[in-house]
Structure 1
Amino acid sequence: MMPIGMSVVIITRNAASTLVSTLDALSEFGEVVIYDNGSIDETPSIAARYPNVSLHQGEFFGFGLTKRHAVSLAKNDWILSLDADEVPSKRLTTELRQWIASARSCDIGNVLRENSMLGRPVRHSGWGNDWLVRLFNRRDYNFNDAMVHESVEIDHKANIIQLPGCIEHAAVTDLSQFLEKINRYSTLRSNSGKLKKYSPGVIFLKSIFAFIRTYFFQLGVLDGWRGLVIAVANANGVFWKYIKFYNVK
């Protein structure tokens, strides 16, 4: 059992296809906080099966603010933030035991996330070498308020430590997830009030550049058809987040 003092925090929405694997891997943690925002599948009932899971349900405020709220529901100050399609490796879990025994509140855990699509790792396309701050003490740090692509805000006092092990991320288990994410994320970004309005021609050029950047500059071509799918999805995401400014009722 993981020493007392660390909580895993996860926000969920229709995560039934991956949540079992995630929660099975977290059996050693004393508290797993799940904040569900509107699931209509079996996500809540799956969470309720695990004795170490504390299930909460409520509104979605954007990814950053929703994760901040979920962090506030934890009993412990040390937070390991995961998504419902992520699993910590055994080595990472072992390292966390040592971490909690001597960590200071200014220490920040940087963790490598290994992203996979349909069961195969993606090494390029902007998905490789994906280091993320996922372990922090909420007394000193927390998520920012970004609607999409949220991150933990850190300052010059933070002592960033790269932890051995990794987070295994089943990023895509069905290609239709790309379409769902493009629609949801582009709406959130468009409604955030933080994007500049561009002409349709400029939007088209930005979309083309997003494809070129992913497929060529970020070596998506080396990921085979998966790299092509990611490049096209990125181009579509750029196109729709800007063109939705024109969605005037």
Structure 2
Amino acid sequence: MNNEKQKLSVLIITLNEEHHIKSLLEDIDFADEIIVVDSYSTDKTVPIVESFKNVKLIQNPFIDYTSQRNFALDQAKNSWILFIDADERLTPDLKSEIVTAINSENAASAYFIYRIFMFKERQLNFSGWQTDKIFRLFNKSKCRYNEERTVHEKLIVNGPISTLKNKIIHFSYSSYEDYKSKMYNYGILKANEKFAKGIKPYFLLLFLHPLYTFLYQFIIRFGFLDGGKGVTICYLNAYSVFVRYKELRRITSSRI
């Protein structure tokens, strides 16, 4: 039996996160190692990170999310990894649960963590986000991101999986234009992912898939209960799907 306290590396990927990064770095002081992998931010992100002497800053060109995450994994000294985005925050209870989990005799290889989606400063309760969970805590000796997925990364886990009880607070939506930009970028990356798999950009999907996405999230996933916020989120998620197929058609036609 090994009673040695397990050490935790917290990894953060950034690009122009000056509005979030300071609060996050102040929030994760319980980590044994903190690494920020920045893809050459043009705002104040870098000097803010450099002001934290306990944080290691590495700049690496951004290709896609999976490549950037796997690069960050390779920089960590410790086996236990907590990946967190600049717009996410940990509650005190979640921090305590993370420490307990990695030091448990029956620790899983990876842990799902649920997220609370914040629309500006208020919680979004539905619109597809009510069951949002993601791998954030895992043992890197047993896990790696699937290189075929470039956005909405998929973690390949060898071993048991568990779920933490406490949730991450996700401040993803700060403004309409900011969130629309995120959805646009996701759409572009997803188009390139589909092109690499040889998926055809059927014309009807350009309209039917975004419509289905909106109706599914707004009706089946109860987006209408979020009122105007629900309309906005469901529309922008559908917009990302539209961008995906529009870009896929452009890429495909340019390669013919």
- TM-score, structure 1 normalization: 0.92
Paired residue secondary structure (1:83): coil
Indicate how the Cα distance of structure 1 residues 136 and 104 shifts in structure 2: closer, same or farther if over 3 A, else same: farther
The alignment's C-alpha RMSD in Å is 1.7
1:61 alignment partner in structure 2: 63
SS of the residue aligned with 2:103? helix
Which secondary structure does the structure 2 equivalent of 1:200 belong to?
Answer: coil
Partner in structure 1 of residue 114 of structure 2: 112
Equivalent of residue 156 in structure 2, options 133, 147, 153: 153
Q: Which residue of 2 aligns with 1:210?
A: 213
Partner of 1:232: 235
After superposition, what is the alpha-carbon deviation per residue over 1:76-101, rounded to whole angstroms, capped at 9, x for unaligned? 11001111111111001111222232
Q: Match for 2:160: what amino acid?
A: N
SS at 2:210 equivalent: helix
Match of 1:243 among 240, 246, 249: 246
Aligned to 1:88: 90
Query: Deviations along 1:69-120, whole A, 9 cap, x unmatched?
Result: 1011111110011111111110011112222323567532221111111111
Shift of 1:4: 5.5
Distance across 2 between alignment mates of 1:239 and 1:229: 15
- For residues 228 and 135 of structure 1, the distance between their equivalents in structure 2, rounded to whole angstroms, comes to 32
Contact 2:210 2:239 in 1 (8 A): yes
Q: Is the 8 A contact 1:105 1:137 kept in 2?
A: no
Deviation at 1:171, TM superposition (A): 1.0
Distance 2:157 2:77 in 1: 22
State whether residues 81 and 134 of structure 1, in contact with CA within 8 Å, keep that contact through their aligned partners in structure 2: yes
TM-score by length of 2: 0.89
Change (3 A) 1:121 1:194: farther
Structure 1 residues 41 and 99, CA gap change in structure 2 (3 angstroms): same
Q: Contact between 1:91 and 1:164, CA under 8 Å: does it hold in 2?
A: no
Task: After TM superposition, list the pairs within 5 Å mapping 1:34-183 onto structure 2.
Answer: 34-103=36-105, 106-145=108-147, 146-155=149-158, 158-183=159-184
Query: CA, structure 1 residues 195+47, in 2 after alignment: closer, same or farther (shift >3 Å)?
Result: farther
Unaligned regions of 5+ residues in structure 1, if any? none
Q: In the alignment, is residue 28 of structure 1 matched against residue 30 of structure 2?
A: yes
Task: Judge which range, 105-114 or 212-221, deviates more.
Answer: 105-114
CA distance in 2, matches of 1:5, 1:104: 16
CA 245–112 in structure 1, closer or farther in 2 if over 3 Å, else same? closer
Task: Measure, in 2, the Cα distance between the counterparts of 1:194 and 1:43.
Answer: 35
AA matched with 2:217: T
Give the letter for the 1:95 counterpart.
E
The change in CA–CA distance for 1:54 and 1:4 in structure 2 (over 3 A counts) is farther
Partners of 2:248 and 2:102 lie apart in 1 by: 46
What residue number does 1:187 align with?
188
Q: Distance in 1 between matches of 2:170 and 2:139?
A: 23
How far does residue 152 in structure 1 lie from its aligned partner after superposition? 1.6
SS in 2 for 1:27: coil
Give the paired residue count: 245
Aligned equivalents of 2:228 and 2:146: distance in 1?
34
